[in-house]
Amino acid sequence: MARSNTEIWFEGLNINRTLNILSQKYPLFDVKRQGRQCKITVPSRVSRQVVAFLQDKCYNITKISKIGVEGWKDFFRRHFLLPVFLAVLCLVLFVASNICFDVRVSGDFSREEVLSALESCGIGKGSFLWNFNADAAENSVANALDAMYAVVNRQGSVLYVNAVKKKVAETPVDMHSRRDIVAPCDGTVTFVLCEQGTCAVKTGDAVKKGDVLVYGLRTFNDGTTQDVYALGEVVIRQQSVGFAPYTGTITQTVETGNTCVYNEVRLFGKNYGFGCGFASWREQRTSVVLYPLGITVERVVCFETATVTRAATLEECLLQLQEQALQQALQQADFTVTDTVYDVTAQGVYATVYGERHVR
């Protein structure tokens, strides 16, 4: 049988004399003394006699604690619901870890397409993963999407899906047919390389959409021509202009000083929380992910904001006007922007964005 001991804390005077008497009657272990206080460890079977002896000698018993097997028994007697709670918690964690709480999608297909493909094999948010088979899920997703391949990995209660589209072979080019290289946009020619055909433009020329850049013609010394498939490269510099007028005022968003704090739980792709009651606000979020459940708990701090309009000089409005003009120019641009130039006037700010189009 496992031995069980009891720790007894007491305080008083003449402790050394009392310890000598006790050691002659009962086994003492781990004796620690500090001033008028003392702690002794005795077998649990004699703990009552030791306590009665100390009380009879007018010592103040400050604490009695069972250790070992008896200590655990006493703990569970005082907290009899704890084992039940732990068992229920383990059961809940076991069940929850086999529920799909989220699906993370990457690859060439949209999230909606992948989720629909997963549902065809009985997998989705909120579904049980007891019999989850990665190979079967991958085959089902690849077949449903007509993908080249699909990879489905499970980490706890989260599924990670990566699906890649099939590669389509390019249509063969008939090099014996005529083809002209045509400008797909307006702009200025900055570079010309003609490998086959006849150049129609040179560097610095302004071109419109639809203009021929390289004719699919080969000219011989006797003046005759032959249709060819034009080959080469022409670089066209494009531009887009935006304008923001100066009105003499500036509109700014400022914080009022009022704040609101609440928590949100992200479950099955949706956020659950009380929300913010402000008409307009700025958010600051900190999140914690509960693994392996895949549940995200976010603490949201909202700072109330208000829109204020006041008189301002052109210099004070400059950054805001530049941003407005730039956004207008970008909305009209159908090319990749390489550089931006601003022109400030008394009437407002012009933003000109430039980019290059390589035509082959």
DSSP codes, 31-47: EEEETTEEEEEEEGGGH
Per-residue pLDDT tens over the stretch 234-278:
999 999 999 999 999 988 889 999 999 988 887 766 777 878 888
Planar angle of CA 40, 42, 44, nearest 5 degrees: 135
The CATH H-level (homologous superfamily) assignment of domain 102-165 is membrane protein fhac (3.10.20.310)
Judge whether residue 1 has pLDDT over 50: no
The model carries a pTM of: 0.50
pLDDT at 86: 75
Q: How far is CA 97 from the centre of its chain?
A: 21
Name the residue among 178, 217, 222, 225 with its Cα closest to residue 194.
217
Bridge partners of 23, per DSSP, are: none
Helices (H), 146-236: none
**Residue extents of the structural domains in the chain:** 5-78, 102-165, 181-235, 243-248+312-359, 250-311
Q: How many CB atoms lie within 10 A of CB 323?
A: 13
Instruction: Tokens for 352, please give them.
Output: 């000109």
CB 239 within 8 A of CB 352: yes
Rounded to an integer, the average pLDDT of 97-115 is: 84
Percent of the chain with pLDDT over 90: 34
Least confident of 76-80, 110-114, 169-173: 76-80
pLDDT at 95: 65
CB 185 within 8 A of CB 209: yes
Whole-angstrom Cα distance, residue 284 to residue 300? 6
Judge whether residue 17 has pLDDT over 50: yes
Q: What contacts 274, CB < 8 A, 6 or more positions away?
A: 262
CB 222 within 8 A of CB 329: no
Bridge partners of 343, per DSSP, are: 350
CATH class of 5-78: alpha beta
pLDDT at 207: 93
Phi and psi at 328, nearest 5°, equal -65, -40
CB 271 within 8 A of CB 213: no
Rounded to an integer, the average pLDDT of 29-53 is: 88
What does the CA dihedral 59, 61, 62, 65 come to, rounded to 10 degrees?
Answer: 150
CB 333 within 8 A of CB 240: yes
pLDDT at 289: 78
Judge whether residue 2 has pLDDT over 60: no
Least confident of 23-37, 76-90, 139-153, 327-341: 76-90
pLDDT at 168: 77
101, 121, 308, 332 from 129: Cα distances, Å: 10, 12, 53, 49
Whole-angstrom Cα distance, residue 111 to residue 100? 16
Whole-angstrom Cα distance, residue 331 to residue 285? 31
Strand locations in 156-228 (E): 158-165, 181-182, 187-196, 198-199, 206-207, 212-215, 217-219, 225-227
